[in-house]
Amino acid sequence: MTIEQRIKALIRDVKDFPKPGIVFKDITPVLKDPVLCNAIVDEYVKLLNGIKIDEVVAIESRGFLFGMMIAHKLHVPFVPIRKKGKLPYNTIEQSYNLEYGEAVLEVHADAIDAGKTVLIHDDLLATGGTIDAAAKLVEKLGAKVGAISFLVELDFLKGRERLVPHSSKIISLVNYQ
Ligand code: AMP
């Protein structure tokens, strides 16, 4: 089995969560397979193909899971991006549109040094709004988005198109057409 087949076999579709019409891709069964989790991290490192990453930046909260593992594997710092109001120190913020209304992401103002190249990681790419906002935070701090990685990409929502201006290296291990 390919790594995509192994991950897909474990991802659980939960219909109408968190609201009617959404099919939620539940990755928690993947987390219960430590051999596969290790293989996933190795696969990200392989697909980065030598791109020099200075720091891994990941989005609350499911992005933290593999984000921290990738940072650990690469021996680089990990930086959390969180929803507004969660980070305790001085922050900068970026708002983005949700289906209904607006949300705000924050990062500590001193978390990423200007000139660094970062990997941004999240569990899933849907419309791309979340990562577009995260990339803007990284760029506001003067850093560069060297690559963006996901476990899952929902191709039919075309989120990738919104991310291309930030980085040409977009990695997804599992795609749904
Ligand atoms: P978007 O900004 O539209 O790309 O949405 C991505 C964010 O929403 C990620 O942090 C995902 O965890 C979450 N998300 C969106 N759609 C789903 C879905 N169908 N299943 C699981 N998570 C989702």
| Phi, psi torsion values for 48, nearest 5 degrees | -65, -20
E-strand stretches of 70-143: 78-83, 91-97, 102-108, 117-125
pLDDT tens per residue, range 114-170 = 999 999 999 999 999 999 999 999 999 999 999 999 999 999 999 999 999 999 999
- For ligand 1, atom 12, which residue shows the shortest CA distance? 124
Total number of domains constituting the chain: 1
Any idea what the CATH number is for the domain that residue 59 is in? 3.40.50.2020
The band of 99, judged by pLDDT with boundaries at 50, 70 and 90, is: confident
**Beta carbons of 133 and 113 less than 8 angstroms apart:** no
Least trusted range by pLDDT, from 38-47, 54-63, 99-108, 162-171: 99-108
Give domain status of residue 84, yes or no: yes
Please compute the mean of the pLDDT values over residues 173-177 and round it to a whole number. 98
Give domain status of residue 22, yes or no: no
pLDDT of 101 = 84
Give domain status of residue 156, yes or no: yes
Give domain status of residue 145, yes or no: yes
| pLDDT at residue 100 greater than cutoff 80 | no
Give domain status of residue 161, yes or no: yes
List the end-to-end C-alpha distance of the chain, in Å, as a whole number.
19
Structure pTM? 0.98
Catalytic residue among 6, 12, 93, 99: 99
Question: Which range of residues forms the domain containing residue 145?
Answer: 52-176
Count Cβ atoms below 10 Å from residue 17 Cβ, excluding itself. Answer: 11
- Provide the 8-state DSSP code for 2: -
In the three-class reduction of DSSP (H, G, I as helix; E, B as strand; rest coil), residue 94 is classed as: strand
Q: Tell how far the Cα of 175 is from the centroid of ligand 1, in angstroms.
A: 13
170-176/117-125 β-pairing:
unpaired
* Residue 99 annotated among the catalytic residues of the structure: yes
125 Cα nearest atom in ligand 1: 4
- Name 71's bridge partners: none
Give domain status of residue 98, yes or no: yes
pLDDT tens per residue, range 1-41 = 999 999 999 999 999 999 999 999 999 999 999 999 999 99
Catalytic residue among 6, 43, 55, 62: 62
Tell me how far apart the alpha carbons of residues 115 and 123 are, in angstroms, rounded to a whole number: 26
Tell me how far apart the alpha carbons of residues 94 and 76 are, in angstroms, rounded to a whole number: 24
Instruction: Output the CA torsion 160→60→72→31 (10° steps).
Output: -90
Q: Tell how far the Cα of 37 is from the centroid of ligand 1, in angstroms.
A: 20
**Beta carbons of 63 and 47 less than 8 angstroms apart:** no
Please compute the mean of the pLDDT values over residues 92-110 and round it to a whole number. 94
Give domain status of residue 36, yes or no: no
